[in-house]
Amino acid sequence: MKNNAKRNVSIPTAQAFDQNIKTQNAPPLRAPLFLTSILGTILEYFEYAIYGFLAPMIAQHFFSQSDPTSALINAFGVFAVGSLSKPIGALIFGHLGDTQGRRLSLRYSMIGISIPTFIVGILPGYDVWGWGAAFALILCRMLQGIFIAGESDGVRIYVFEHFGHKNPCLMINLVGCGAYIGIALAAFIATQISDTGDAWRYVFLGCSACGIVVFFLRRFLVETPPFLEYRHKHPSSSIPMKKIVQYNWRALVRTIMICGAGGGAYHFFLVFQGMYLSKILELISFEEATFYGFWLTGVYVVFLPIAGWAADIWGLSRTAKIGGLLTLSHLLVHIGMIINGIVFFPIMFSTTISMVFFFAPAFLFLLKHYDVGIRFRCLSLGHTIGSMLFSGSTPVVCLFLWKNTLTSYIPYLYFLFLVSMGLAAFVLNGKSKSSPLRRLCF
């Protein structure tokens, strides 16, 4: 530590930052500030998830119905395309958040996702534009993916840096509740939409109008104290993304694995599974599937802060490992039920709780790997690459596997792979000898 004067990049380590921030007084938990932060998350995840719940209806409008199964695969393929563009959004909004502030990034991510949502609501269908309608739908989903990349991670970082001095995992998971409240609302609205007609369009148009309102509300957000302190000490420092990746690649790989597993598990269990059990295996009705999706998401929301509170007490890695092992054991039961053509809601209920305890500690576990000056870019980039590879692609991969094997439980084996990947990232973490940014400081 005697060669500090010779360092080319002078940035405090993550450990030094954590020790310094503990000496500060936490700002008061002002309800308007907190609620405005997560209101956009609720809306953005509603807008993003409603597509998945309404995929059978969207398939009817934007794709040829000569082969309904292929049309459904195409609809979920478009859903996956939204994830392909997320790394672009991560680079844009991550850089904006780390250099210009969390507040600015959150404002513009909100307005950005509302515009393509509005366009989807007014797009002509396959009967009018043919494949041009599907192409326009793909462009809209790609734009949504770019702008949503700056939302979920940005809000969690924003809330942690404002209010995460006590019970940080609990606070971060309260933000996570916002995301799943949006998903639960999407599941509930989907139960109220007819399989025929254009009622689904009004959902997209209404979401777009709400997004404009949230954009204006977010003008009242204030910047986080840690970011202001960081920029005051380093007003002109900017680490190139290439160097960030070079010295933090292990942490980025871990972020990709955990976020990919978490997103894939969510897309499988809370979005895709109901459609698969109803439309493909025909074990339950579509109404029952959406009903299950709504209640299981509700269970997830209720237990998310409980799991966050438990992780603050028991430890992040320990809580995640216990939840992961329980999830794996439940999956074996699910595979047995599918082989015998059984759907048992209590097992789905307990599986959901296991998943909560598995993934609730994830974001704080990953956040601790990154310094305040690079955490937005690293978390957002790792999260979006994981989402691109494993999350949004899960429904179409599962449908592809089923169509080519006609094996009823094959999608659950893919789910098993996702959970195992996430658990491996927690188990293989180990104890780092230095913070991931420490090498940049020498």
Say what the pLDDT of residue 442 is: 27
Using one digit for the tens of pLDDT, what is the confidence trace for 17-57?
344 434 334 444 455 667 777 788 888 778 777 877 777 77
Q: Mean per-residue pLDDT for 423-437? A: 61
How confident is the model at residue 15, as a pLDDT? 42
Coil, strand, or helix at residue 101? coil
Max mean pLDDT range (51-60, 113-122, 147-156, 361-370): 361-370
pLDDT band at 149, cuts 50/70/90? confident
Dist CA 44 CA 152 (whole Å):
9
Instruction: Determine the Cα–Cα distance for residues 324 and 425; give it in Å rounded to an integer.
Output: 11
Q: What does the pLDDT look like over 193-227, one tens digit per residue?
A: 776 667 788 888 888 888 888 888 888 788 888 88
Q: Where are the domains of the chain?
A: 30-222+238-431
**pLDDT confidence bin for 136, thresholds 50/70/90:** confident
273, 297, 81, 269: which is closest to 183 by C-alpha?
297
355-382 mean pLDDT: 91
Q: What percent of the chain has a predicted confidence (pLDDT) above 70?
A: 86
pLDDT for 434: 36
Tell which wins on pLDDT, 129 or 172. Answer: 172
Task: Report whether 25 contacts 178 (CB < 8 A).
Answer: no
Average pLDDT over residues 391-396: 81
- pLDDT over 70 at 262, yes or no: yes
Q: Which residues 6+ apart lie within 8 Å of 245 measured at CB?
A: 252
Q: How high is the pLDDT of residue 28?
A: 44
Fold of 30-222+238-431: Growth Hormone; Chain: A; (1.20.1250)
Q: What is the pLDDT of residues 66-105, one digit of tens each?
A: 667 677 777 777 767 777 788 888 888 888 888 888 888 8
pLDDT tens, position by position, 239-256: 778 888 888 889 999 999
Q: Which two tokens stand for residue 326?
A: 């329980």
